[in-house]
Amino acid sequence: MPTSDTLVHRSTEYAERYPSGRALPPKLKVAIVACMDARLDPFGLFGLEVGDAHVIRNAGGVVTEDALRSLAISQHLLGTTEIVLVHHTDCGMLTFTDDAFRATLAKSAGQRPTWSPESFGDLDTDIRQSVARIRSNPFLIHRDAVRGFVFDVHSGELREVS
């Protein structure tokens, strides 16, 4: 059976115990931008329940144009006032360069992507760059309440990047 069939079956079980009536804005007024890595569980890491926070995930937890779009909607329309960024150790984004990946895609698809892969060579440097992107974005209301962290996938510990 394909994995997607298993997931759809599980969704039926989930629907049976789903608590309706949750409010639309996140209870804790926080948005988290995190890597999509399956070893990183923002809900478990921060003790969150569904409805507590907006969780925006992508490869590397990079603050891309799309992440900024989601953050602007989160702040302007849904009342979030803080942003937490989460990168992690042993991240795949540390293992390639943008140029090499673009070349791979060009060979595979016959064209280069219009978007940047946003790979990085250092976790702390990229967190600082992401914080700077947020703080300089004119479409965000709350640009000062931003904190960046690195999650250690081996120990489970969280380290703040200053």
Provide the pLDDT for residue 20.
Answer: 83
Question: What is the overall mean pLDDT for the chain?
Answer: 96
Distance, in Å, from the CA atom of 149 to the CA atom of 162, rounded to the nearest integer, reads 9
Residues 6 or more apart whose Cβ sits within 8 Å of residue 42: 32, 34, 48, 53, 55, 57, 86
**Six token digits for residue 130:** 């992401």
Report the domain count for the chain.
1
- The pLDDT score that the predictor gives to residue 1 is 82
Q: Which residues form the domain of 29? A: 3-161
> Is the alpha carbon torsion for 17, 20, 24, 27 positive or negative?
negative
- The CATH number linked to 9 is 3.40.1050.10
Summarised one tens digit per residue, pLDDT across range 102-113 is 999 999 999 999
pLDDT of 18 reads 87
Return d(Cα 84, Cα 146) in angstroms, integer: 6
Dump pLDDT digits (tens) for 28-80.
999 999 999 999 999 999 999 999 999 999 999 999 999 999 999 999 999 99
Q: Which two tokens stand for residue 74?
A: 């989160």
pLDDT of residue 21: 82
